[in-house]
Amino acid sequence: MVAVTDGTAPVRRAPLIAGNWKMNLDHQQAIAFVQKLHWALRDAKHDKGSVEIAVFPPFTDLRTVQTLIDADKIPFELGAQDLSAHDSGAYTGEVSGAFLAKLACRYVIIGHSERRQYHHETDEVVAAKVRAALRHGLVPVICVGETSEDLEKFGASAVPVGQLQTALDGVPAGADIVVAYEPVWAIGSGQAATPQQAQDVCAKLRDVVAEKLGGDAADRTRVLYGGSVKSSNIASFMREPDVDGALVGGASLVVDEFAAIIRYQKHVGV
């Protein structure tokens, strides 16, 4: 995470710490969780301008969390974990980006490895969902990453680079997106990538954004690392120039741990 320049004025990418709750916390538990996280950060005198915080609850929690954030003026952005590639119609069980936008969602995760693995989402489906998100003014958080077999066969970057190239097909230059590099072998395993591995792949993903959406978009786009991020390793990732934040799963469900991740600037060097 460093300031970059466009040749005239410095452009700073705001760090983004995103909590992917997956299928955890019902809407009542969500209220308690968001309140406790807010209080923990307030008690710690966290500077809310220093890091953007986003939470990604299950669909059934979104309205409740939106209402709470709004009523208590909690400085968290809201995101969904998936959306339909379609806008409306006979698609039983699917959720339109239009509905998410109405709930004041800013972000939507697309192409998480669990969707790719358990719901057979291909790169083409991911690309259609990215376009759907953009149609509704949502910022897609596009997840890419290699499995351990991919890593052995092709090295770390080939698969995520290919996934991102397809995901950005048909996306207009300058579109507002977030990219999340999540090596599948690191998700939920307790075995995070090294900061150097994350940096190498995130830099290559930024090159893909430059190639597909232009240099300005590449300078502006946040590239996150995800996979076994915790309070003890976040600072080491955030020191890397092309890592602009984290997509956090398990550790985002523990108030004190997620608050400590958000406050990584206070424990650089831990």
Instruction: Select the residue interacting with ligand PGA from 68, 141, 144, 247 (CB under 6 A).
Output: 247
Long-range contacts of 160-166 (CB under 8 A, 24+ apart): 160/201, 160/204, 160/205, 161/204, 161/205, 161/208, 162/123, 163/111, 163/123, 163/126, 164/205, 164/208, 164/209, 165/208, 165/211, 165/212, 166/123, 166/124, 166/126, 166/127
Q: How far is it, in rounded angstroms, from Cα 136 to Cα 161?
A: 26
Q: Counting contacts by CB under 6 A, is residue 145 touching ligand PGA?
A: no
3-state secondary structure at position 53: strand
Maximum distance among all alpha carbons in the chain?
Answer: 53
Instruction: Select the residue interacting with ligand PGA from 220, 250, 261, 264 (CB under 6 A).
Output: 250
Q: How far is it, in rounded angstroms, from Cα 121 to Cα 100?
A: 20
Give helix 123-135 / helix 158-167 axis angle, nearest 10°.
40
User: Is residue 38 annotated as part of the catalytic site, yes or no?
Assistant: no
Shortest distance, CB of residue 185 to ligand PGA, whole angstroms? 10
> Binding mask 4-23 vs ligand PGA (x if CB under 6 A, - otherwise)?
----------------x---
Nearer to ligand PGA, 212 or 263 (CB): 263
Q: Report yes or no: 13 and 52 within 8 Å, Cβ to Cβ.
A: no
Question: Read out DSSP for 151-162?
Answer: HHHH-SSHHHHH
Name the catalytic one among 112, 114, 121, 240: 112
Q: Counting contacts by CB under 6 A, is residue 182 touching ligand PGA?
A: yes
Nearer to ligand PGA, 23 or 71 (CB): 23
Tell me, by CB under 6 A, how many residues bind ligand PGA.
Answer: 13
Instruction: Select the residue interacting with ligand PGA from 228, 231, 233, 236 (CB under 6 A).
Output: 228
Q: Which residue sits closest to ligand PGA, CB atoms considered?
A: 249
> Binding mask 36-75 vs ligand PGA (x if CB under 6 A, - otherwise)?
----------------------------------------
Instruction: Select the residue interacting with ligand PGA from 142, 249, 259, 261 (CB under 6 A).
Output: 249
Residue (of 242, 223, 243) closest to 233 by Cα position:
243
Q: Counting contacts by CB under 6 A, is residue 227 touching ligand PGA?
A: yes
Interface ranges with ligand PGA (CB under 6 A): 20, 182, 187-188, 226-229, 247-251
Catalytic positions are 112, 182
